[in-house]
């Protein structure tokens, strides 16, 4: 009996052109959306069920827990002003995304004539940012057998960049043991930090090196830089030390001879005596006087 009544009501509503709604219901095609910087992206807010003819539609951006309007009272506002538009019935199209658009977006629909008069849906948007040219550090020259590190870094890319190294336009494998050409190499690559470390340099490690930073949005690389690897020159080192010792010896010999010949004397008599002979014009020859004798050298007139 009850089933017959429900069927009769449905037929009656169908004849009158009215089918009761369960209320406003929203859905989205993707709750997590990725977009590349400077490219358009559409956030979908699909109304599956509604009876109200002119529902109130609002979009809010939620960043760091703080909400702000981006679509309110039938117009784009806030961060998306002049950069977005509403696609009927309730989708939000961002025409030119920027890294600042990374946030959560909430679509809200209010339908006062529906049994369930309000619904909302939350969408997370992440904007990929292409890496910029990384800063690369490559030593100009290293010695065979020593350790060395090449560095590569950039801070603009999102998600964080992964790094690859190239030598003479050929990519270095992550594991040198995986390639017959690099099996004797002692390097290791940190794809997260961009470091290329050599435990022990070989002559074969010389060449032009450059680094590439890459993520889902694109890639960038630094200019190639030449690194030379030299043998240890034992003979050259010995000759340089010998020349230095010879030069030091010559200087010391020169100083000794200069000192010996009085080149460093100030000209003052340093014998310790200040004897000054007396005047000898008194008529007495003191130099020829014998002990106990006196001899006149002049006549005295009285």
- pLDDT of 301: 43
- pLDDT of 276: 55
Residue pLDDT, tens place only, 210-259: 999 999 999 999 999 999 999 875 545 667 778 888 888 888 877 777 77
Instruction: Count Cβ neighbours within 10 Å for each residue of 181-197 and write b for 16 or more, e otherwise.
Output: ebeebebebeeeebbbe
- pLDDT of 294: 44
Can you give the CATH number for the domain in which 151 is found?
2.60.40.10
Indicate whether 144 and 60 sit together in one domain.
no
Indicate whether 120 and 147 sit together in one domain.
no
Indicate whether 55 and 114 sit together in one domain.
yes
According to DSSP, the residues that pair with 26 across neighbouring strands are 47
Paired sense of beta strands 218-221 and 207-215, if any: antiparallel
- Is residue 101 one of the residues assigned to a domain? yes
- Is residue 109 one of the residues assigned to a domain? yes
Indicate whether 77 and 142 sit together in one domain.
no
Full residue range of the structural domain in which residue 213 is found: 135-230
- Is residue 72 one of the residues assigned to a domain? yes
Distance CA 268, CA 249 (A): 30
Domains held by the chain: number? 2
Indicate whether 65 and 32 sit together in one domain.
yes
Distance CA 271, CA 260 (A): 17
Distance CA 132, CA 136 (A): 12
Q: Are 107 and 45 in contact, with CB atoms under 8 Å apart?
A: yes
- pLDDT of 192: 96
- pLDDT of 52: 80
- Is residue 79 one of the residues assigned to a domain? yes
- pLDDT of 264: 61
Indicate whether 111 and 154 sit together in one domain.
no
Indicate whether 72 and 157 sit together in one domain.
no
Residue pLDDT, tens place only, 270-295: 444 555 555 555 555 544 444 444 44
Residues of the chain short of pLDDT 70, as ranges, are 1-22, 233-238, 264-302
- Is residue 1 one of the residues assigned to a domain? no
- Is residue 169 one of the residues assigned to a domain? yes
């Amino acid at each position: 009996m009850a089933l017959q009544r429900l069927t009769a009501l449905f037929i009656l509503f169908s004849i009158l052109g009215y089918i009761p709604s369960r209320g406003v219901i929203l859905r989205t095609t993707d709750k997590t959306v990725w977009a590349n910087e400077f490219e358009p992206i559409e956030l979908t807010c699909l109304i599956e069920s509604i009876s109200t003819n002119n529902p109130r539609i609002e979009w809010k951006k939620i960043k760091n827990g703080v909400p702000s309007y981006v679509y309110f009272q039938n117009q784009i506002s806030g961060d998306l002003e002049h950069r977005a538009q509403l696609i009927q019935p309730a989708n939000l199209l961002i025409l030119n995304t920027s890294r600042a658009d990374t946030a959560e977006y909430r679509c809200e629909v209010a339908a006062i004539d529906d049994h369930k008069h309000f619904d909302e849906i939350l969408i997370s948007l992440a904007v990929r940012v292409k890496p910029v040219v990384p800063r690369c550090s490559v030593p100009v020259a290293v010695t065979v057998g020593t350790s060395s590190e090449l560095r590569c870094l950039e801070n603009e890319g999102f998600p964080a960049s992964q790094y690859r190294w190239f030598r003479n336009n050929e990519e270095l494998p992550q594991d040198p043991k995986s390639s017959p050409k690099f099996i004797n190499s002692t390097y290791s690559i940190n794809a997260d930090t961009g470091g290329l470390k050599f435990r022990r340099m070989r002559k074969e490690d010389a060449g032009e090196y450059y680094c590439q930073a890459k993520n889902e949005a694109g890639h960038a690389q630094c200019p190639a830089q030449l690194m030379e690897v030299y043998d240890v020159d034992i003979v050259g080192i010995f000759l340089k030390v010998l020349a230095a010792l010879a030069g030091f010896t010559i200087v010391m010999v020169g100083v000794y001879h200069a000192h010996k010949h009085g080149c460093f004397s100030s000209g003052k008599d340093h014998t310790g005596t200040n004897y000054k002979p007396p005047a000898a014009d008194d008529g007495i020859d003191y130099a020829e006087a014998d002990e106990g004798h006196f001899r006149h050298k002049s006549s005295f007139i009285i």
